[in-house]
Amino acid sequence: EVQLEESGGALVQSGGSLRLSCAASGFTFRNAWMSWVRQAPGKGLEWVGRLKSIGEGGTADHAAPVKGRFTISRDDSKNTLYLQMSSLTTEDTAVYYCTTMYSSAFDSWGQGTLVTVSS
């Protein structure tokens, strides 16, 4: 059974930084493409970024609102996905979900971790 457990969410001041983690189990993590998706309070889903498996290049791509401020990375030895966030603004306040990817779909989701950015 695929399990994804996010952690690291917190209350942070505007301009600050935070790193989220996603511990994965139940599948071959090193072969998986992974993504982060976020959801602001009362709003819809927003894709944040994707990281390919190392075997397929290991490249990351990020959505325009976070490009240059957020970085997705992975440690396959620890079966863990990360999201390094910097220059945070109140617009980044959201629940952040870690997901596995099946082709272009997000097929398994964690329960999410809440990031609150105060002004």
Partner 1 sequence: SYVVTQPPSVSVAPGQTARITCGGNNIGSKNIHWYQQKPGQAPVLVMFYDSDRPSGIPERFSGSKSGNTATLTISRVEAGDEADYYCQLWDRSSDHYVFGTGTKVTVL
Q: Which residues bind partner 1 (CB under 8 A)?
A: 35, 37, 44-47, 50, 61, 63-64, 97, 102-112
Q: Which is nearer to partner 1, 61 or 91 (CB)?
A: 61
Could you tell me the smallest distance in angstroms from the CB atom of residue 13 to partner 1? 27
Closest-CA residue to 92 (of 23, 16, 5, 34): 16
Q: Which is nearer to partner 1, 79 or 109 (CB)?
A: 109
The answer for residues whose C-beta is within 8 angstroms of residue 10's C-beta and 6 or more apart is 18, 115, 116
Q: Which is nearer to partner 1, 82 or 106 (CB)?
A: 106
Q: Are 37 and 48 in contact (CB under 8 A)?
A: yes
